[in-house]
Amino acid sequence: MTDSRPDFQIAPSILSADFARLGEEVDDVLASGADIVHFDVMDNHYVPNLTIGPMVCEALRKHGVTAPIDAHLMVKPVDRLIGDFIDAGATYITFHPEASEHIDRSLQLIRDGGCKAGLVFNPATPLSFLDYVMDKVDMVLLMSVNPGFGGQSFIPGTLDKLREARRRIDASGRDIRLEIDGGVKVDNIAEIARAGADTFVAGSAVFKARNAADPHRYDSVMRDFRRALAEA
């Protein structure tokens, strides 16, 4: 028999990392068992915060990071930065449908550049934006907080939305990851997984759990996440 369990992947958000030693932080969290580097890009226009751009992504690649980098673009307009993040070495590039004048074209720009493409849905954004572009989507990311800042609480209604997104993905028969971002913690990740998510962004829950006694600083919290997922 084959193992039918989901391929759960954990994507720590570097928004909560110590930027004075970002390369070391990313090295540590990956060595502790993380799968993906989640990269939050905010423009103080589409969302009320200003964070990091493609030069930081490129710097992590030059530092030696080979793990997938998931660039979540909270910017408007989005098309120009798509090209910049392709050049910077992103693996996934996801954006909000509200930030693109032509969603199909933006998705195709990402794929034409050799990256995996995804759409991001704010808590009140309907999943109907997926209706005509499932063939161009490699990831669906549901925000379980309103985007802009780390450390917010999980919005419970996202669980029903996750179930609907999972139904759509399964019905499509396509290999599409279902990611969740916002308020993911050790004590709720199993419930989130049971609702259909297979990829989990966690920022403050990971980086605020830094433990100097751990060989790679984050071994304990990553082990706690894995244990919780094993019960999903």
* pLDDT tens figures, 177-198: 999 999 999 999 999 999 999 9
Span 105-121, pLDDT tens digits: 999 999 999 999 999 99
Count of domains in the chain?
1
pLDDT value of residue 147: 81
Q: Is residue 151 a part of any domain in this protein? A: yes
Q: Is residue 220 a part of any domain in this protein? A: yes
Span 70-113, pLDDT tens digits: 999 999 999 999 999 999 999 999 999 999 999 999 999 999 99
Q: Is residue 125 a part of any domain in this protein? A: yes
pLDDT value of residue 3: 45
Q: Is residue 2 a part of any domain in this protein? A: no
Q: Is residue 149 a part of any domain in this protein? A: yes
Q: Is residue 3 a part of any domain in this protein? A: no
The CATH number of the domain where 29 resides is what?
Answer: 3.20.20.70
Is 203 annotated for ligand binding?
yes
Is 150 annotated for ligand binding?
yes
Is 149 annotated for ligand binding?
yes
Is 32 annotated for ligand binding?
no
Q: Is residue 171 a part of any domain in this protein? A: yes
The catalytic residue positions are: 40, 181
Is 13 annotated for ligand binding?
yes
Q: What's the chain's average pLDDT?
A: 95
Is 204 annotated for ligand binding?
yes
Q: Is 70 in a helix, a strand, or coil?
A: strand
φ, ψ at 134 (rounded to 5°): -60, -25
Q: Is residue 4 a part of any domain in this protein? A: no
> Domain containing 147: what range?
9-231
